[in-house]
Copies of this chain bind each other. A is one copy, B any other.
Amino acid sequence: MAKNNQEFVTQIASRSEDFPQWYTDVIKKTDMVDYSDVKGFMVIKPYGYGVWELMQSEMDARFKATGHKNAYFPLLIPESLLIKEAEHVEGFAPEVAWVTHGGSEELPERLCIRPTSETIICSMYSKWIQSYRDLPLLINQWANVVRWEKSTRPFLRTSEFLWQEGHTAHATFEDAQEETIRMLEVYREFSENVLAIPVVVGRKSEKEKFAGAYATYTMEAMMQDGKALQMGTSHNLSDHFARAYDITYLSKEGKLEYCYTTSWGTSTRMIGGIIMVHGDDRGLVLPPKAAPVQAVVLPIAMHKEGVREKAGELFDMLKKAGIRAELDDGDQSAGWKFNQWEMKGVPLRIEVGPKDIEKNQAVLVRRDNLEKLFVPMDGIAGTVEELLKDIHVGLYKKALAMRESKTVEASDFEEFSQGVKNGFVKAMWCGERECETSIKEKTGATTRCIPFEQRHITDKCVHCGKEAKHMVFFARAY
């Protein structure tokens, strides 16, 4: 068994030696995704899609609880509509796919596949919103989007991805700002309480903000290789899109006013975050709330009397308690199965063998720390539920400690340059775009966010020495 184990583990690269290869190995070995015949497009296989379904269901409930409803808007956007908001089209035109023919006929106007839906949604809001009574308008869309990419990696950057995009319209700038921050907070709470991923929240720099936004807010997570991942963004679009797409309303006072809009999005990219935050050299480690299988029941020495039956009973008990359990009574060796389910990151493995049956117990093995627990059969579903909660907390704490260990404060550019090789650097910054560009050229690091929680480190910009405006999180990023 030890031998099998070893063999299996060496099938994937180690994180410390080759992190990108480890990532690729994990997503392939766990059957989360596959590469397709279309360059840059991924196939999300059932195991990966199962994670996304759980994330969707958790997020969707949060969107509905905050008053949003789902709707669906067209996949294709006429070029004339896309180009109405100048900054927006400048940002997105280089990466859209163009449809030029329908059947055998050339189209009178080419249509792009949505890279995001502000333009088409705003054109509808312009029709739907007449009076202050129609506000706020709170809509979310679950959809696929296409952004043409030259260099792709499954989940992290692909030419097509799945996401949700919230689009809301409000009477005032303040209402829009409140919504922008509310949804960022929904994202943060989701990331921490469902994915067990701690995030830094704050504002993007002018350079890094969404094309067409007044301000972009973001949540940023730290991966085990010291690179940051943007996990979700929320944009206050002010009246930029309302002016471009003529979204106006008649106020209570009978005055025609422009609306203020927001948009906010998260995507299948977050699955890449789960892998890179929690995974280890045995493979994936899934947070229990996003795990398609939370506990796998393995009968040990299946040929022995009563083993299959007991394992089946246990499986039924878990299912009945609402735990996403699976029973693996396949004919592979126990060692092979251990490795398989560890690779797939299932939070709990539950073994039932003849000796366990004698003692009326089961053996539970936690995926997060490989701890082995002997648990009485009576009330075992409750124990499993508690352990799943415990694993969530453990994963969160471990991820937080990892991030802390990869976060430094820099008061000079030498410290800064060393720091960004390893993770987040908190440093003071002047706020100038040229300085930001120069930092990126020299170190590969970008401003990840201007955190809400500010701290004064020095008076001067860590790079150019001019007067500092903010404390910023810098990092190399995906």
Using a CB–CB cutoff of 8 Å, the interface residues on chain A facing chain B are 34, 36-38, 41-46, 49-50, 52-53, 69-78, 81, 93-104, 111, 113, 120, 123-124, 127-128, 139, 143-144, 146, 148, 159-160, 162
Contact = CB atoms under 8 A, between A and B. Distances in A.
A43 B124 contact: yes
B139 A76 contact: no
Contacts of A104: 94
Given A72-B162, A94-B104, A77 B148 contact: no
Given A94-B104, A100-B101, A102-B148, A120 B37 contact: yes
Contacts of A120: 36-38
A71 B45 contact: yes
Q: Work out how many copies of this chain go into the complex.
A: 2
B75 A46 contact: no
Given A53-B70, A76-B160, A96-B102, 14 more contacts: A34-B124, A36-B120, A37-B81, A38-B77, A43-B71, A44-B72, A49-B70, A52-B72, A94-B103, A94-B104, A95-B103, A97-B111, A98-B101, A103-B148
Interface centre among A41, A77, A162 (most CB of B within 10 A): A41
Contacts of A69: 46, 49-50
A48 B319 CA distance: 34
B75 A144 contact: yes
A186 to B, nearest CB: 19
Nearest to A119: B37
A127 B74 contact: no
15 contacts: A38-B76, A38-B77, A38-B78, A41-B74, A41-B76, A42-B74, A43-B74, A44-B72, A49-B69, A72-B162, A74-B160, A75-B160, A97-B99, A97-B111, A102-B159
Contacts of A124: 34, 36, 43
Given A98-B99, A101-B100, A46 B70 contact: yes
Contacts of A49: 69-72
A100 B100 contact: yes
Contacts of A76: 38, 41, 97, 146, 160
Nearest to A160: B75
